[in-house]
Amino acid sequence: MPLFGNSFSPKKTPPRKWASLSNLHLLDRSTREVELGLEYGMPTMNLAGQSLKFENGHWVSESGGFLGDRRELQRLRKRNQQLEEENNLLRLKVDILLDMLSETTAESHLMEKELEELKQHSRKKK
């Protein structure tokens, strides 16, 4: 039991007067929609001069040239796949060339070592 009472006793906070000072909650629904802009419609954006809108979880061209975009997309995907295959082939070739280089370098070092040993052996005989 403490001698001087409880040392921690926070003061009570006064209750709030109003949750919001705005008078928009007093307006009727139609006025609030006009004031707050609740009727916003479909999201749209403009990229590189082409207007797109968001429908059913996908961005769709508003100009109606969607079939042209789809053909272009297929062409780009095919080109991308060709480039990936070419890239994989080139990586394989580089790996093979590095293996060949390391093998040739190792053989060269062995031959140099053997040549040094032969030179030293021939000097000892003289």
Residue 98 forms part of a structural domain: yes
Q: Does any domain span residue 104? A: yes
Query: What residue type is 82 in one-letter code?
Result: Q
Pair 51, 70 in one domain: no
99 and 120 in one domain? yes
Q: What tens digit of pLDDT does each residue of 55-65 get?
A: 888 878 777 65
Cα torsion through 25, 31, 36, 39, rounded to 10: 130
Give per-residue pLDDT as tens, 13-28.
Answer: 877 766 666 666 667 7
Same domain (yes/no): 71, 121? yes
Q: What's the CA gap between 85 and 78, in Å, rounded?
A: 11
pTM for the whole thing? 0.43
Residue 58 lies in a domain: yes
Could you tell me the residue range of the domain that residue 93 belongs to?
Answer: 64-125
16 lies in some domain: no
